[in-house]
Structure 1
Amino acid sequence: MSLLSLSSLSAFYGASQALFDVSFDLAEGEVLALLGRNGMGKSTTIKSICRMMPVASGQLVFDDHDLNRLPSHKAARLGIGLVPEGRRCFPNLNVYENLTAAARPGHWDFARVSKLFPRLAERRNQRAATLSGGEQQMLAIGRALMTNPRLLILDEATEGLAPIVRQEIWAAIRTLKEETGMAILLVDKSLFELSQIADRAVILQRGADVWSGNFGDLTEELSSRYIGV
Structure 2
Amino acid sequence: MSLLKLSHISAFYGPSQALFDVHLSLEEGQVLALMGRNGMGKSTTVKVICRMLKNRGGSIMFDGRDMARLKSFQAAKSGIGLVPEGRRCFSNLTVHENLIAASRPGEWDFAAVARLFPRLEERRDQLAASLSGGEQQMLAVGRALMTNPRLLILDEATEGLAPVVRQEIWAAIARLKAETGMAILVIDKSLKELGTVADTAVIVEKGVSVWHGDFGDLTPEVTDKYLGV
Identify the TM-score tier after normalising by the shorter chain. over 0.9
Moved over 2 A (4+): none
Matched residue, 2:116:
116
Q: What CA RMSD, in Å, does the superposition of the two structures yield over aligned residues?
A: 0.5
Normalising by structure 2, we get a TM-score of: 0.99
Match of 1:39, SS? coil
Number of positions where the alignment pairs a residue of Structure 1 with one of Structure 2: 229
Amino acid at match of 1:155: D
How far apart are the structure 2 equivalents of 1:19 and 1:74? Answer: 23
Question: In the TM superposition, what are the counterparts of 1:134-149 in structure 2 within 5 Å?
Answer: 134-149=134-149
1:55-114 Cα distance to aligned partner (Å, 9 max, x none)? 111101101111111000001000000000000000000000000000000010000100
Matched residue, 1:66:
66
Question: In the TM superposition, what are the counterparts of 1:135-174 in structure 2 within 5 Å?
Answer: 135-174=135-174
How far apart are the structure 1 equivalents of 2:164 and 2:75? Answer: 34
How far apart are the structure 2 equivalents of 1:32 and 1:6? Answer: 13
Question: In the TM superposition, what are the counterparts of 1:19-168 in structure 2 within 5 Å?
Answer: 19-168=19-168
How far apart are the structure 1 equivalents of 2:113 and 2:77? Answer: 19
Unaligned runs of 5+ in 1: none
Normalising by structure 1, we get a TM-score of: 0.99
1:3-44 Cα distance to aligned partner (Å, 9 max, x none)? 001011000111111001211111111100000000000000
Percent of pairs with identical residues: 71
Amino acid at match of 1:118: P
